[in-house]
Structure 1
Amino acid sequence: MSPFEYTSKWFVFKAYGHENVRATHRSTIEITKDNFLTTRGDCIIGIRSEASTKDFPQWLVEDIKNGSKIFVVFCTNNYCDSLIGYGDKDLILSHENKIIFRKSNYIEPATALIRSNKAAIDLSRKLIDDIKKSEEFTIMITSLKI
């Protein structure tokens, strides 16, 4: 394959960390619009999110439902980490409060992608340490059509 130029759309939004972020869950990562976090929420890495699955733009919904490979990047001012997962025709994408990235094939309204290569426990600890400081961070989502 020869090198080529690739241009894509990105859905970009902000969320905030919290001192109770543990990021120890072994199968999911969650971002929520809630403004609080207990220590039981071990999959939650972001609160006060600007977006939920219901807020995804139409192009992203279509790409997810077409089974595209989905690329997600999480960035604080100091660190970034990413994951890759897959869309599915059965994803609902209608939750008003949260976004969940899953290693499994489980589907419910907050599920944004399945078969992720990472869960909360797999994210960079440097990134998570920044997020624990209640720092604002950026989430960027795109589909890969390569």
Structure 2
Amino acid sequence: MTDDATSTHREVVHATGHEHVTAEHASTFEVTTDDWLTPAGDCILAVDADRSPADFSDSFRDAVQDAAATVTMTLEVADLTATFEGRGHPDLALTDDRSMVGRTSTHVDDRTIMLDADGAAESVDREVVDALADGADVRVVLEVTQ
């Protein structure tokens, strides 16, 4: 979708919740292609994702590498949503073939999809967390607005 002032790039990932989702991490949130989760994975919100950052389009990757870009991730779980907003950065490679991580910090690695996020796993509404812990289907919508 494009208009005169901004352009938006979008990726959609399908995943599921897991009984070990606790969403207690204070500085990150994660969605993984792994189909398992241990109780120690307190930042992981969904598993068994059908895509990873390595699968994203070149245009999405280019957009997220704009330091002025706004990156939004929305988890759609039944009729509930959880949304995080952060920013892009030139060092975001989006090459990991296993997981995507949003960070409240400025740390960058090949899993990082946004920096300076306005929340982490612990900020997700507990109703959403309960649905995830019950194994609900999740639609993850990533948008980059430039």
Q: TM > 0.5 between the two?
A: yes
Identity of aligned residues (%): 24
Q: Counterpart of 1:24 in 2: which secondary structure?
A: coil
- Pairs within 5 Å for 1:58-97: 58-67=58-67, 68-97=69-98
- 2:105 corresponds to: 104
Give 1:49 shift.
0.4
Equivalent-residue separation in structure 1 for 2:126 and 2:64 (angstroms): 28
For residues 66-86 of structure 1, the C-alpha deviation after alignment (integer angstroms, 9 at most, x for no partner) is: 121111111111200101111
- Pairs within 5 Å for 1:2-41: 8-41=8-41
Unmatched runs of 5 consecutive residues or more in structure 1: none
Name the aligned partner's letter for residue 91 of structure 2.
D
Equivalent-residue separation in structure 1 for 2:137 and 2:36 (angstroms): 14
Name the aligned partner's letter for residue 24 of structure 1.
E
Equivalent-residue separation in structure 2 for 1:15 and 1:92 (angstroms): 22
For residues 72-113 of structure 1, the C-alpha deviation after alignment (integer angstroms, 9 at most, x for no partner) is: 111111200101111100112111100000001111110111
Residue correspondences, number? 142
The two structures have a TM-score, normalised by structure 2, of: 0.91
Give 1:57 shift.
1.3
Equivalent-residue separation in structure 2 for 1:64 and 1:5 (angstroms): 17
Give 1:10 shift.
2.1
Equivalent-residue separation in structure 1 for 2:95 and 2:8 (angstroms): 24
Aligned-residue CA RMSD in angstroms? 1.6
Unmatched runs of 5 consecutive residues or more in structure 2: none
Equivalent-residue separation in structure 1 for 2:34 and 2:107 (angstroms): 22
Q: Counterpart of 1:99 in 2: which secondary structure?
A: strand
Q: Counterpart of 2:128 in 1: which secondary structure?
A: helix
Question: Is 2:53 the counterpart of 1:56?
Answer: no
Give 1:5 shift.
9.7
Give 1:9 shift.
3.9
- 2:142 corresponds to: 141
